[in-house]
Structure 1
Amino acid sequence: MKKFLVIDSSVLPDVFEKVLTAKELLRTNSVKGISEAVKKVDISRSTFYKYKDYVFGLSEGMVGNKAILSFLLKDERGTLSSILKHLSNNNVNILTINQDLPINKIANVSITIEISKMETDIDTLIENLKVLNGVVKSELLALE
Structure 2
Amino acid sequence: MDRQGERFYLVKEDLLSEAMTKTLEAKELLESGKAKTVNQAVHSVDMSRSAFYKYRDGIFPFETMVKEKIVSISIHLEDRSGSLSSLLAVLAGLGCNILTIHQTIPLQGKANVTLSIETASAKEDINGILKSLERLEHVKKVSIIGSGA
TM-score by length of 2: 0.86
Deviation string for 1:4-42 (max 9, x for gaps)?
111223223121111112212222223333222222222
Deviation string for 1:28-73 (max 9, x for gaps)?
2233332222222221122112211100111212376211110001
Unaligned runs of 5+ in 2: none
How far has the Cα of 1:106 moved from its partner? 1.0
| Matched letter for residue 27 of structure 2 | K
1:59 is paired with a residue of what secondary structure?
helix
Unaligned runs of 5+ in 1: none
Moved over 4 A (4+): none
Among 126, 131, 137, the residue aligned to 1:127: 131
Aligned-pair Cα RMSD in Å: 1.8
Pairwise mapping of residues 65-76 of structure 1 onto structure 2 (< 5 A)?
A: 65-76=69-80
* Partner Cα separation in structure 1 for residue 56 and residue 29 of structure 2: 13
Q: CA, structure 1 residues 67+138, in 2 after alignment: closer, same or farther (shift >3 Å)?
A: same
* Partner Cα separation in structure 2 for residue 34 and residue 82 of structure 1: 46
* Partner Cα separation in structure 2 for residue 85 and residue 35 of structure 1: 46
Number of residue-to-residue matches in the alignment? 144
TM-score by length of 1: 0.88
Pairwise mapping of residues 1-144 of structure 1 onto structure 2 (< 5 A)?
A: 1=4, 2-62=6-66, 65-144=69-148
* Partner Cα separation in structure 1 for residue 127 and residue 67 of structure 2: 15
8 Å CA contact 1:64–1:143 kept in 2: the answer is no
Q: CA, structure 1 residues 95+26, in 2 after alignment: closer, same or farther (shift >3 Å)?
A: same
